Amino acid sequence: MTAPASKLLQPITVGPLELKNRIMFPPLTTGYEERDGSIGERSLAFYERLARGGVSYIVIGDVAPVMTASPTPKLATDAQIPTFKALADAVHKHGAKVALQLFHPEYDVPGVGRMVMGSMAAAKAAQEAKAAGDEETFAAKMAESNEIRKQAYAKLHHDMQHFVNEATVEQLTQIKEAIAASAARAQQAGIDAIEISASTLFLNKEMTDDRQIEARCRQLKRDLKRAGIEIWSVHMPFGREIDLSQTDEAVRQRSVELHRRVLRFCKILSPRIVLFHPSWYLGHGERDARIAQLVRSVGELLPDAKKIGARVVIENMLGYELVKDGNYERPLGRTVEEVLHIMSLVPREVDAAVDTNHIDNPELLISALGRRVRTIHVSDGDGRSECHELPGQGRGDNDWTAILKALYEDAHYRGVFMYEVKKAEFPQLKACYDRLYEQYVQSKQ
């Protein structure tokens, strides 16, 4: 029997981007950037090595549009444009595309920054006093520096939990303008695309009203359109109070309305795919009722997803044992049988996302779902914990020949081989797929 031709190395067009193959390096933080967040020699060499090795689409993760103390890449000033242009030129030389994941930190950057600078100024004054033999001033200034630093950490800790609720319209406007300015700089540098990572900034109704959010989204869309940028996908929110399967009808309705609200904003941003988690943890003995509520919610939301031209997928969840603890059962979608049951109840237009780390013997789930497998999350594991290891490292027990057989022969899958692993460089990713595919081909001979 002839092995199916791999589409991994075939060209694909995604919106305005023409990619030479379907291998993507996802947005990861390397720590290779310079102290000011610019692209230096080490970072440049790393990404050029990926492009030279064959990757077609590289996304630089956590690029801040403002200056912060965090050790991440930054494109916040015009002075940084040349370093990103050098990156784009190096990647383009090997026929690859490069994108930036613009991520604004979830705290009051100017406020925390002023406090940090105040602490540093007091510490400098303390050292000057000590050099002059003024021990009293030295002690006072060091105490002042330590107190300001303590307050800065306290504010940072507070903001990481509450800034999305407490940010003012003025602060949100500044964030939007910083992202737009960074996108314009990315265009000047020759960057091909960006991915917006705004976390919960658009989701909390306490921050501002819908009209202001919509206006912000429209402005962002205009800015991105001018920069030639397309937003690709949205992972829908989830959690204890954002659960489409809730048997508490008031909570379920609030969850559906929140999803509708997000989808309304998504219509402005035009994503292609929306992915749902089927549930959060369940109370004991609730599964049948929870499944019914999930199906009801998906049916209510499907027309909204269709209106924005997005495809709905539901992901299988981790749950090797039914019971988590004395209070909870594992989420829905924990077994082959339960996933199939859910998929038999939702409309046929709804597809599945298979996470190979979330279940023992994922090939059984893939085979059972067949052509309803719309996408996969590839990582090795034991089906018992969030391992997300690179296949073949000896820290997982998946049978990858069986998985590829199920994908290519049973599900007729020709989509992206999307890794979801903790840490790996591109040569490892490509070598991993080559090895897995070669083992699969050999199994057919």
Specify the pTM. Answer: 0.53
At 273 the pLDDT is 77
Bridge partner residues of 173 (DSSP): none
Residue 38: CB atoms within 10 A of its CB come to 21
Q: Which residues contact 148 (CB under 8 A, 6 or more apart)?
A: 115, 118, 119, 122
At 409 the pLDDT is 94
Task: List the structure tokens of 329.
Answer: 């059962």
Main-chain phi, psi angles of 197, to 5 degrees: -120, 90
10-residue averages of pLDDT along the chain (445 residues): 69 87 89 88 94 94 85 90 94 94 86 87 92 92 91 86 78 85 89 61 52 76 70 76 91 91 85 86 93 96 94 89 87 94 96 91 95 89 81 84 95 84 78 91 89
Gyration radius from the chain CA atoms: 24
At 200 the pLDDT is 46
**Cβ–Cβ < 8 Å for 383, 334:** no
CA distance 299 to 138: 68
At 198 the pLDDT is 45
Residue 148 is given by DSSP the state H
Task: List the structure tokens of 437.
Answer: 């595919």
CA distances from 310 to 232, 244, 272, 274, 354 (A): 10, 18, 5, 6, 18
Residue 75 is given by DSSP the state -
At 44 the pLDDT is 93
CA distance 441 to 325: 43
Q: How many CA atoms lie within 13 A of 288 on its CB side?
A: 1
CA distances from 416 to 10, 21, 23, 427 (A): 11, 10, 8, 17
CA 213 centroid distance within chain: 21
**Nearest 5°: CA angle at 441, between 438 and 445?**
135
